[in-house]
Amino acid sequence: MSAVFNGAAMKNDIRKALAVGLLVLPIAAFCDPQAPADENAKETLNADRADEEIAAPQSPQTADRQPAVVPLAYKRAFDEALELFEQRDYEGAYERFAKLYAEDENVAPAAFYTGRAALETGRYEIAADAFRQTILLEPNHSRAKLELARTYFLTNRPQEAKALFEEVKSATPAPPLEVSRNIDLYLFAMEKRQKRSRFNGQIMANAGYDSNVNQGGDKTVTASIGTITFEIDMPKAESDTLLTLGSFNSHIYDFGEFGGFAWLTTFVGYANKYSDLSENDLLLIGAATGPTLSLENSRATLQIGYDRALIDSEKYIDMIAAEASYDRQITETGVARAHLKFYERSDERKGRENLIDDALLDLRGFEVGLDWHTTVSQSDMSFALGAAYGDQSSKKGHNANSELNYIAVNGSVSFSKNPWIFGVQARYKRSDYDNRFVIFENKKREDDLISAEAFANYSLASSLMLTTRVGYAKNLSSLDYYEHDKVTAQGGLVWFWGI
């Protein structure tokens, strides 16, 4: 939950669950240097496809089918291509439509569907040419104008896109309300792109339940020192309700004349307040800043930040971290992200984790990871996969539970149907501790943490979301003392803002 070390993961998790209701654009401004901090997560804006949003009713002369009188062989070939398109086999559909279009460029439906299939397969220039030909043949083909405007939007030609969007919006008769609304979303996105300085953020408020706040195990384990054997009672699991407040904000300044170079600053504030177990109350504040460079299909970012976390109003963690990340659009809807981060922290813990009353830990570590997110074309489903490796050591080497390395993998799938979004996510983490524990027969600690969560969210307005989630986590350990499990649940509201 930090601005650098844990902030990206937390914000990414929240954004995946709360994506509906912001901008409803497919890959929209993926490389927009004015995107918010976690905007490599544009990958997470999983609302209805733009095809469906901007679709306007077509008059008979602009219907998407072939002309009324055509050779039988042409009609059969067109229908076969259209069937492939409707089955989302866009590559196969493009090959067939392009062949028909090459035979006769004066057939508007063939030109239009060549453009749509080209757009779906990332052939933007071909798509633009095909849509322009459709409009030349049928000047009132509003759907072709909207698809051409979207193509201009995706290829960073805002003036041409804006002119076409406004032309369709102001046409007589006026387009349906839903079409006008989504045109406004595109226009708003282009307006934000042109701003040099921009703020974005989320403010959340949740009520929740945790069945095992203190990670208790309700067991008695045997320990020994030399020939002396004794028993240690694990703390009993304590449940409680809590209130969570969070604010995740970013500011970006675009140095437009430097070709994609911008400066990104993020701010994080997060608090948990328990009803009874106040000794677990958490307050975290953090900030990070650094440059970002956006190119045609990629973005590189460097962030350096500082976090402070307080438990029950006492200092718990101070951390300085640096993270470098690289995002690249691999397919029209698929984005890959690699990151590398280093950190140093001073960690004051109390009680069970160290088997002593107090410990001041000076730690350093790093993590390297790779993530992939994609939305299934023409569908309401998106997937995400990720993996990371990390290593942590103590600068003073004085605590067994501070020296470890780990591997973590995670995955999620979500479905959106405006105004709803549903999903599940799971994570596995294997932690190997370097030291052996004398009191536990000189055994080495090895933990396997497995967690899963389901969420369902409802968009109350374009900037307001109702959120719910339920999760379960279980930690398996080679040392019984560290085994525990828990159930969590929370629900609340998230407000998105931007200026």
Does the pLDDT of residue 27 top 80, yes or no? Answer: no
Report the distance separating Cα 97 and Cα 77, nearest Å.
9
For residues 15 and 115, state if they share a domain.
no
Segment 171-216, tens digit of pLDDT: 888 888 778 888 888 888 787 777 778 889 999 999 999 999 988 8
Q: Is residue 180 part of a domain?
A: no
How many structural domains compose the chain? 2
Does the pLDDT of residue 297 top 70, yes or no? Answer: yes
Which of 9-18, 250-259, 476-485 is most confident? 476-485
Report the distance separating Cα 140 and Cα 162, nearest Å.
18
Report the distance separating Cα 215 and Cα 236, nearest Å.
8
For residues 354 and 429, state if they share a domain.
yes
Residue 13 phi/psi, 5-degree rounding, is -60, -45
18-32, 333-347, 372-386, 457-471: range with lowest mean pLDDT:
18-32
Among 141, 175, 209, the domain-final residue is: 175
Q: How many residues does the chain have?
A: 499
Instruction: Give the three-state DSSP class for 32.
Output: coil
Could you tell me which of 27, 34, 41 has the C-alpha nearest to residue 412? 41
pLDDT number for residue 289: 97
For residues 250 and 108, state if they share a domain.
no
Say if CB 53 and CB 182 are below 8 A apart.
Answer: yes
CATH number for the domain harbouring residue 99: 1.25.40.10
For residues 163 and 278, state if they share a domain.
no
Q: Which residue has the tokens 């209805």?
A: 48
Point out which residues pair with 298 in neighbouring strands.
328
For residues 65 and 98, state if they share a domain.
yes
Report percent pLDDT > 70 for the chain.
76
Handedness of CA 107, 109, 111, 114 (dihedral sign): negative
| Confidence band, pLDDT 50/70/90 cuts, at residue 92 | very high
Angle at 119 between CA 175 and CA 176, to 5 degrees: 10
For residues 14 and 137, state if they share a domain.
no
Q: Is residue 190 part of a domain?
A: no
Among 119, 142, 175, the domain-final residue is: 175
Instruction: Give the three-state DSSP class for 277.
Output: coil
Could you tell me which of 104, 188, 112 has the C-alpha nearest to residue 147? 112
Does the pLDDT of residue 256 top 60, yes or no? Answer: yes
Q: Which residue has the higher pLDDT, 334 or 292?
A: 292
Segment 393-444, tens digit of pLDDT: 876 654 555 678 999 999 999 998 888 999 999 999 999 987 666 566 677 8
pLDDT number for residue 80: 93
Q: Is residue 45 part of a domain?
A: no
74-78, 192-196, 388-392, 464-468: range with lowest mean pLDDT:
192-196
Q: Is residue 140 part of a domain?
A: yes
Chain mean position to CA 36: 12
| Confidence band, pLDDT 50/70/90 cuts, at residue 259 | low
Q: Is residue 50 part of a domain?
A: no
Point out which residues pair with 274 in neighbouring strands.
242
Q: Is residue 444 part of a domain?
A: yes
Tell me which long-range contacts 92-98 makes (C-beta under 8 A, separation of at least 24).
Answer: 93/117, 94/118, 94/120, 94/121, 94/123, 98/126
Does the pLDDT of residue 94 top 50, yes or no? Answer: yes
Mean residue pLDDT of the chain comes to 80
For residues 453 and 333, state if they share a domain.
yes
Chain mean position to CA 153: 22
Q: Could you please report the per-residue DSSP string of 49-109?
A: -HHHHH--PPPGGG-SS--SS--HHHHHHHHHHHHHHHTT-HHHHHHHHHHHHHH-TT-HH
Among 175, 192, 219, the domain-final residue is: 175
For residues 214 and 251, state if they share a domain.
yes
For residues 117 and 218, state if they share a domain.
no
Domain that holds residue 118: 57-175
For residues 371 and 298, state if they share a domain.
yes
Q: Is residue 186 part of a domain?
A: no
For residues 234 and 312, state if they share a domain.
yes
78-82, 254-258, 294-298: range with lowest mean pLDDT:
254-258
CATH number for the domain harbouring residue 351: 2.40.160.40
For residues 328 and 432, state if they share a domain.
yes
Q: Is residue 192 part of a domain?
A: no
Does the pLDDT of residue 16 top 70, yes or no? Answer: no
Rounded to the nearest 5 percent, the helix, strand and coil shares of the chain are: 30, 45, 25
Q: Quote the pTM value.
A: 0.65
